[in-house]
Copies of this chain bind each other. A is one copy, B any other.
Amino acid sequence: MTFQLDQFLPYRLSVAATQVSRRFAARYAAEAGLTIPEWRVLAHLGQSGAVSVRDVTARVALDKSIVSRAASRLEKAGYVRKSSHGKDQRLVALELTEAGRELMARLGKIAETFQAELLAELGEDGPAFRRALLQLSKATAP
């Protein structure tokens, strides 16, 4: 029997992820022209207060260079403020501005709605799907 690409889990996973990202991006594009890294940084700051680039990097699964650039764009757009961390001068403290909090409040609603739609589509497979994603997200030892 030959190998079937369309039965292959990594492939199916990648296609699904791309598809879902596209659908979601179409939703929030109307509110703000954010890239995915920008959206993730914004969302993380919304739930975490003032944190460093390193913290964000660890949490949102993006390279630090990407987080750095996303933060700079968000700062220029007025959604994020960079200040220096008093204690350790190497660190930068990132936090949302008032405009950033407002934007995040709107995007948060959109995100919740979208997630509800997805879960409705999944029906009873939803919980198992969630568990599976968590399991697969674990990195193997380097």
Chain A interfacial positions (CB closer than 8 Å to B): 2-6, 8-21, 23-24, 36, 40, 43-44, 46-47, 59-61, 104, 107-108, 111-112, 114-115, 118-119, 121-122, 124-126, 128-140
Closest CB in chain B relative to A67 CB, distance in Å: 13
Q: A9-B118, A12-B130 are in contact. Are A137 and B44 (CB under 8 A)?
A: no
Interface secondary structure of A, over-half rule:
helix
Closest CB in chain B relative to A138 CB, distance in Å: 7
Give this chain's copy count. Answer: 2
Whether the Cβ atoms of B13 and A47 lie closer than 8 Å is: no
Whether the Cβ atoms of B16 and A20 lie closer than 8 Å is: no
A8 CB contacts on chain B under 8 angstroms: 43, 111, 115
Closest CB in chain B relative to A130 CB, distance in Å: 7
User: Considering the chains assembled together, what is the distance between the CA atoms of A8 and B129 in angstroms?
Assistant: 12
A24 CB contacts on chain B under 8 angstroms: 10
Whether the Cβ atoms of B23 and A140 lie closer than 8 Å is: yes
Whether the Cβ atoms of A132 and B136 lie closer than 8 Å is: no
A104 CB contacts on chain B under 8 angstroms: 3
Q: A47-B5, A61-B18 are in contact. Are A131 and B125 (CB under 8 A)?
A: yes
